[in-house]
Amino acid sequence: MKKSLWLGLLFLCTQSCTPKEQQVTIKQTDTQKFTTALSTENPVFLKDFLGVNGFEWDFLSAPDVSRIDDQKMELIKSFGGFRHYLDWDKIEATPGNYTFNPTNNGGWNYDAIYERCKKENIPVLVCLKTCPNWLLKTYPENERDAENVPAPFGADLQNPASYILQAKAAFQFAARYGSNKNIDTALVKVNSKPRWTADSINRKKIGLDLVRYLECDNERDKTWKGKKAYQNPQQYAANLSAFYDGNKGKLGKNTGVKTADPNMQVVMGGLAAPDVNYVQQMINWCKKNRGFKADGSVDLCFDVINYHFYAHNDPKRFSLTTKRGIAPELSDAGKTADGFVKLAHQYKNLPVWVTETGYDVNKNSPQAAVKIGGKTTEDTHADWLLRTSFLYARHGIGKVFFYMLDDVDKNSEVQYSSSGLLDGLSRRKAAAYLLQTKNLMGNFQFIQTLNTDPFVDVYASGKKKIYVLAVPDETGKTVICHLNLGGAKRAIVYMLAANASFMDKEIVPITNGKLTIRAAETAVFVETNED
């Protein structure tokens, strides 16, 4: 760390404070415990809050899309998880003909992607979404949209059987990439016909144990696309029941995720509008139509609750009057998370995930991060994304995936078009911050919050503790924190760097168990080995 940077951020005596700066003393006894506790049974680590959304082309490069591009893979290793948007027609370009390596549509090699992610310890959530063209042809020409309800036109959307085609595709995916090796091979189908002479052919594979999480479509509460694309909670629950286990086995031995692999976790599609009542109505549908298990719990057709949340200054969310994004702590992100976690605790503590969140870097986008003081939009983008991770860890969420790896169009003012964490083949500051945090404390677990403004969160791994300090604001203010570190004799202070894989650090002595440090909107980290 540069000496000038160090002196600008760390103080070893209170006389260094400017008169107008707020000061706060942080004591170990002033603890506010949240719903997340240090867990050994189902541990959640900080790296679980550092995921990203993306596509197959983020791994594979033309002309040979059967091989991983190592340069691209190095960038993806910045993140703690990958949510893969997988279009249904990629694996089933024609009805009943399944292809995975290579796919008939695009020639993609999904085996290679999932194998490499497992090797690199990057958990993959696959979001099986959109309708294949052959299904869309059942709709009138003027109503064909890839994001239509995944059932033939005119089907009874309250009936799980209407979704059998999607549920059969889910079975094939789970049979191949799940962990169950005891599947009747007669139920597993691949199209082994080559596309041309000397082309690679698809081969049956079972129980590759590469993917643990499969999501049933994306944002099924699409009110903005009309009836053809919207499902109410009862309709989507019926859809999920088919997808989950073939509606409790009623739809056949080759239908549903759990039918192929009981260990694969089914994630409900992320809700565009984070409405707890929508999920409650899905649960009510399960009570009525799926009943209860032997232990008295509701026989749910999903293992994970999932929603999307973008923090901005428009409470109506979809209104065109939205002007910009806002700091995560100033939004109702925490309140919304608390509502979902409270619901989940009523049903055997289901995990709750946020699989889309983020900000744009185009300053004219209604979802833009903003310039603060001398900071650029990309500086604030980096601050807010990382603080979003800490916020959700604090409120009991289980995983977070940022939208998304690449921009749709950096020059576009349309919301979500410039949300990328990469700029070509280089990391934006936000991605660098996430990588540095993952490298420092990806395997640490959230324990408690000692203070809320500035926030002082405590993470632990064994006997090691890391304190994360930041001002939950967007005004550029700083606060002097007198951090009580108990019996620690020294601490390591880490500072985020603009273009690096690891944070800058400095070992500092502790005087009478207390460290005085300045907190600002960019997080700072203090590591100790306290007794």
Instruction: Tell me the per-residue pLDDT of 74-98, one tens digit each, with 9 for 90 and over.
Output: 999 999 999 999 999 999 999 999 9
The most distant pair of C-alpha atoms in the chain lies apart, rounded to whole Å, by 79
pLDDT in tens, 120-151: 999 999 999 999 999 999 999 999 999 999 99
pLDDT of 14 > 50? The answer is no
Task: Indicate if the pLDDT at residue 331 is higher than 70.
Answer: yes
Structure tokens that stand for 123 in this block: 């958990």
pLDDT: which is higher, 223 or 61? 223
Residue 26 lies in a domain: yes
If you count DSSP H runs as helices and E runs as strands, how many of each does the chain have, helices first? 12, 20
Q: Which residues of 301-334 are buried (b: 16+ CB within 10 A; e: fewer)?
A: bbbbbbbbbbbbebeeeeeeebebbbbbbebebb
Residue 412 tokens, joined: 């576009």
Q: Please state the rounded mean pLDDT for residues 497-507.
A: 96
* pLDDT computed for residue 37 by the predictor: 45
CB 108 within 8 A of CB 64: no
Please report whether residue 482 resides in a domain. Answer: yes
Asked if the structure places residue 503 within a domain, the reply is yes
pLDDT-derived band at 348, boundaries 50, 70, 90: confident
- 321, pLDDT greater than 60: no
CA atoms lying within 13 Å on the CB side of residue 242: 22
Residue whose structure tokens are 């944002």 = 219
pLDDT class of 317 with cuts at 50, 70, 90:
low
Q: Does the residue 212 lie in any domain?
A: no
Specify the pLDDT at position 39: 54
Q: Which of 16, 60, 266 is nearest to 166 (CA)?
A: 266
Contact in structure between 254 and 290 (CB atoms under 8 Å): no
The tens digit of pLDDT for each residue in 427-482 reads: 999 999 999 999 999 999 999 999 999 999 999 999 899 999 999 999 999 999 99
pLDDT digits (tens, 9 = 90+) for 269-290: 999 999 999 999 999 999 999 9
Has residue 505 been placed in a domain? yes
Mean pLDDT of the chain: 92
In angstroms, the CA 408 to CA 417 distance is 5
Q: By percentage, how much of the chain surpasses pLDDT 90?
A: 86
Q: pLDDT tens digit string along 224-264? A: 999 999 999 999 999 999 999 999 999 999 999 999 999 99
pLDDT of residue 154: 97
> Above 60 in pLDDT, residue 119?
yes
- Cα 105 to Cα 92: distance, rounded to the nearest angstrom: 8
- β-pairing, 455-461 vs 426-427, is unpaired
Residue 348 lies in a domain: no
pLDDT beyond 60 at 30 = no
Q: What's the CATH code of the domain at 510?
A: 2.60.40
What does the pLDDT read at residue 22?
A: 87
Range of the domain at 489: 3-32+449-528
CA 28, CA 252: separation in Å to the nearest integer? Answer: 57
Q: Which secondary-structure segment (H or E) carries 525? A: strand 524-528
Q: Using CA atoms, how far apart are residues 285 and 287, in angstroms rounded to an integer?
A: 5
Q: Is residue 17 part of a domain?
A: yes
What pLDDT is recorded for position 16?
A: 43
pLDDT surpasses 90 at 346: yes
Counting the structural domains of the chain, the total is 1
H-helix or E-strand containing 484?
A: strand 479-484
> Exposed, middle or buried, 153 (CB in 10 Å: 0-12/13-18/19+)?
middle
Q: Provide the 8-state DSSP code for 15.
A: G
Whether the pLDDT of residue 328 is over 50: the answer is yes
Is 466 a domain residue? Answer: yes
pTM above 0.75, yes or no: yes
Q: Are 483 and 490 in contact (CB under 8 A)?
A: no
pLDDT given at position 409: 97
